[in-house]
């Protein structure tokens, strides 16, 4: 049997960000929607960080965070679920790196490499984005076995830095012991 068959659980890491509307409420709603999916369970949630915009800088500050989740979905199917949640929460794509109600990026999935027109794994720019690395470093255990922990630690110490990333508040989403009741 393929070690990544759709019936087996994979651990995946997602970056979340928002800079329009009620940023925290939107991020928490995205987490709830992910966790309500029958093939996704949220494992860990980072703190929320207020971050300066990158790329297109004439926009409000972001709130960024990271999630660890367990899923039986294949990477591209997980991406489809994430993109649908973005749309359902009002995401519009007008300006590259521009303002957004919510952004969900699949960063890493069991150390798998993938390069398709829709998805590249690991995320090709996460090593240069402090707004991704800082929350991710908070939730990737040192015992993680697919190489993400040393990857994140190396990126943080070799230039990823922590510039423009400020702890905003702890995540108020409950620790996941399974799917939420609602």
Active site residues: 91, 100, 103, 105
Using the Cα atoms of residue 67, residue 72, residue 76 and residue 79 in order, give the sign of their dihedral: negative
Task: Yes or no: say if 40 and 14 are a contact pair by the CB < 8 Å rule.
Answer: no
- Please give the Cα distance from 62 to 137 (Å, whole number): 18
**Cβ-Cβ contacts under 8 Å for 102 (sequence gap 6 or more):** 16, 17, 18, 26, 27, 30, 85, 86, 89, 90, 91
**Cβ-Cβ contacts under 8 Å for 27 (sequence gap 6 or more):** 16, 17, 18, 48, 63, 65, 102
């Amino acid at each position: 049997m393929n070690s990544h068959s759709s019936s087996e659980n994979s651990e995946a890491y997602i970056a979340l960000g928002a800079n329009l509307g009620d940023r925290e409420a939107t991020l928490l709603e995205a987490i709830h929607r992910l966790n309500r999916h029958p093939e996704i369970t949220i494992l860990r949630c980072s703190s929320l960080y207020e971050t300066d915009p990158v790329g297109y800088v004439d926009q409000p500050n972001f709130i960024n965070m990271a999630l660890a989740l367990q899923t039986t979905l294949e990477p591209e199917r997980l991406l489809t679920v994430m993109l649908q949640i973005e749309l359902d929460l009002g995401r519009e794509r007008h300006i590259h790196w521009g303002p957004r109600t919510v952004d969900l990026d699949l960063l890493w999935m069991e150390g798998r490499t993938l390069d398709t027109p829709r998805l590249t794994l690991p995320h090709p720019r996460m090593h240069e984005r402090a707004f991704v690395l800082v929350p991710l470093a908070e939730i990737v255990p040192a015992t993680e076995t697919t190489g993400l922990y040393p990857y994140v630690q190396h990126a943080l110490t070799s230039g990823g830095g922590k510039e423009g990333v400020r702890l905003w508040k702890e995540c108020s989403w409950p620790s996941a012991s399974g799917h939420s009741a609602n």
